[in-house]
A and B are shown apart, each in its own frame.
Chain A
Amino acid sequence: MIDAAQTADQIFVLAKQWVLGYSPAALRPLLSAVLSVVPVLIAFPLLFAITTVLERKGLGRIQNRYGPNRAGPFGFFQPIADGIKSLTKEDIIPSSADHAVHLLAPVVLVVAAFLTYAVLPIGRGMVIANLNAGVLFFFAVGTLVELAVFMAGWSSHSKYSLLGAMRAVAQMISYEIPLVLASVVAIMAAGSLSPVGIVAAQAGYSGILPHWFVFTPWGFAGFILFLVAATAESNRSPFDLPEGESEIIAGYYIEYSGFKFALFFLGEYLGMFASSAMAITLFLGGWSAPLSFLTWVPSYVWFFLKLLAMIAGFIWIRGTLPRLRMDQLMGLAWKFMLPMALLNIVAAAVWKFIPSPPVRWAVCAAILIFPCVVLSRGLRRAKKLQVRSYQFAE
């Protein structure tokens, strides 16, 4: 019984070892790398295709309509149709555009997005590169995305794209800081920068409940902060001002068409998946099961289930919230999230030094909740926002 579950859990690892057993020794390192990378290169774009359909259908249902339902059963061949469309469209480049940079921008975006998957543990023992400083590598490579965005906006030589690129760069740089600071608490608690180590620190169970970091006050706050910053990093609603569709139409990729446009789309979604996957690794226990009696389900299944849940959350938020304006976005990052992230680190540190559970819950929650309320009230008052009442004339 346990053997079967363990085999199912390790099936990909075992398959890779089996193939390597049949290959010549000289080629083994190269073949091992290729066999690790190719499944990721297949799985995540496939997830991207499914996500585009799910998003359109999800948004449709929220808006009291069907999503796409003509291409294939329930519309699930829609990504194939979209792929064919984007491949066969004419590639229009503005004559005054910088051709080399214009071509390289989507390439850099996609390459950077894929590189971040190298350090994410998708299952038990299933990580491409088990780096000691994996989290650091993740954030470092993730910032290449900002470069690609700016390359796209600048090289298009158009006012709208320049506006979009400026906005995008300002936004992404501002939200890097809360993103990284929010992840510091998980690193502190696990005591290592390696994602594998962080997941291992959360893999235990007390009773049936897991040791996930999200079930602590500082972990919960860190999770929320990380999610908000990740939404901003991947330019998703409500932070999609750089591609503000109803204002500057498509922002930094307005001059792109055809396959390059599809690559931008792919890169944006891959970035979203990578950030979600890192959030799962840092706070939601990575590939570990939520309840101790559910560990017979393979680890990668749990990982993808959690990923799908987070994608559903992103879609839900996109369907509900209007867009934040540039200065409000920046205000949120610098005036609210940065102080909260710093306080979160203090709370996480305090947690380690108080032994008894109820006391440390109370103290850490107090450290987080009171300043949050005070800060948000103060910011609101500064903006003079009110729920108004109106007088009537007869």
Chain B
Amino acid sequence: MVGEGILKGLAETARNFFGSYVDGERLTTVQFPEQRLAPIEATRDFPFLVYDGEDWHAGMRCVACQICEKECPPKCIYIEKSADKKPDAMGKAQFYPAKFDIDISVCMSCQICVEVCPFEAIKMDTEFELSTDDRFGGLLLHKDKLAKSNEHYHRIHPTEAAAVDAGLAAERMAAEARTKAAAEAKAAADTKAAEAKTAAASMQASGGGTQ
């Protein structure tokens, strides 16, 4: 029929028009900022530094190895290593970043820094409402702005944070097992050395006695 395609098209738009009043599928707008979509867990926006415990300076996991600075494609991370060391979660004395700056106007949220970090110290945050009218330094985040707690990490990425915590706990247990084994081995070696000494001493004594 002449004009059939046009009439079918008109029927389709009419269906969408009336459908938008009754069907949520046909009116998918979310009235931001009064309504927001449920956040998707895996979303990534800009990096942040994780710290354990209450004190962000003492508990920060970053040891200023500068691997993320080297691997970052647009080179938006700037790290200055400290001169002294502070104890990390396992008690070992490590360097820490005296300066840790990320320029989020350069960062492209590629997440490579997260992938290469050996210490699970840098993770991706989900905050995106970071606009500022200070165009010279407003988007350069320093260590204090970047440091967020492990609880925050659990809140934004629960599955990932649970896996990281499990991994860190396993590492800690493995490290403790290793130190225990090393201590036991050392203790065994010490006793053996002590026994050998006493044996040698007694042999000498008996040897001397024979002569």
A–B touch (CB < 8 A): the answer is: yes
Binding site for B on A (CB under 8 A): 58, 61-66, 316-317, 319-321, 372-373, 376-377
Among B6, B13, B27, residue most surrounded by chain A Cβ atoms (within 10 Å) = B13
Chain B nearest Cβ from A229, distance in angstroms? 16
CA distance A13 to B14 in the complex (A): 39
Nearest B residue to A373 via CB reads B2
Alpha-carbon separation in the docked complex, A63 to B20 (Å)? 9
- A373–B2 CA distance with the chains assembled, in angstroms: 7
- Knowing A321-B6, A373-B2, the reply to whether A64 touches B14 (Cβ < 8 A) is no
Interface residues in chain B, defined as those with a beta carbon under 8 Å from any beta carbon in chain A? 2, 6, 9-10, 12-14, 16-17, 20-21, 26-29, 31
Residues of A contacting B27 with CB < 8 Å? 61, 64-66
Q: A65-B29, A376-B2 are in contact. Are A317 and B10 (CB under 8 A)?
A: yes
Contact present for A64 and B20 (CB under 8 Å): yes
In the assembled complex, the CB of B5 is this many whole angstroms from the nearest CB of chain A, namely: 9
Is the contact region of chain B dominated by helix, strand, or loop, or is it mixed? helix
Looking across the interface, which residue of chain A has its beta carbon closest to that of B27? A64
Contacts of A376 in B (CB 8 A): 2
Partner of A62, one of B6, B16, B28, B29: B16
Task: Check if B17 sits within 8 Å of A61, measured CB to CB.
Answer: yes
- CB-CB under 8 A from A320, the residues of chain B are 6, 9-10, 12-13
Knowing A372-B2, A373-B2, A376-B2, the reply to whether A64 touches B28 (Cβ < 8 A) is: yes
CB-CB < 8 A to B20: which residues of A? Answer: 61-62, 64
Is B10 touching A316 in the complex (CB atoms < 8 A)? yes
Chain A residues positioned under 8 Å from B13 (CB to CB): 62, 316, 319-320
Extra inter-chain contacts (20) besides given A64-B29, A320-B6, CB under 8 Å = A61-B16, A61-B17, A61-B20, A62-B13, A62-B17, A62-B20, A64-B16, A64-B26, A64-B27, A64-B28, A65-B28, A66-B27, A66-B31, A316-B13, A319-B13, A320-B10, A320-B12, A372-B2, A373-B2, A376-B2
Chain A positions within 8 Å of B12 at CB level: 320
Shortest Cβ gap from A260 to chain B (Å)? 33
Contacts of A58 in B (CB 8 A): 17
Closest to A66 in B: B29
Nearest residue, chain B, Cβ from A64: B26
| Residues in B neighbouring A63, C-beta threshold 8 A | 16
Residues on B with C-beta less than 8 A from A372 are: 2
Query: How far, in angstroms, from A317 to B16 measured CA to CA in the complex?
Result: 14
Cα–Cα distance between A376 and B3 once the two chains are bound (Å): 10
Closest 6 CB pairs of A and B: A376-B2, A320-B13, A61-B20, A62-B13, A320-B9, A62-B17
Chain A residues in 8 Å Cβ range of B29:
64-66
Chain B residues whose C-beta falls within 8 Å of the C-beta of A373 in the assembled complex:
2
How long is the Cα–Cα vector from A288 to B10 in the complex, in angstroms?
A: 28
Which residues of the other chain, A, contact B6 by a CB distance below 8 angstroms?
A: 320-321
Contact residues in B for A61 (Cβ distance below 8 Å): 16-17, 20-21, 27
> Could you tell me the distance between the alpha carbons of A62 and B11 in the complex, rounded to whole angstroms?
11
| 12 A-B pairs in the complex with CB atoms less than 8 angstroms apart | A61-B16, A61-B20, A61-B21, A64-B16, A64-B28, A65-B27, A319-B13, A320-B9, A320-B12, A321-B6, A372-B2, A373-B2
Most buried by B among A61, A319, A373: A61
Separation of A373 and B4 alpha carbons in the complex (Å):
12
**B19: min CB distance to chain A, Å:** 8
By a CB distance below 8 angstroms, the chain B residues around A321 are 6, 9
Point out the residues of chain B lying under 8 angstroms from A316, CB to CB.
10, 13-14, 17
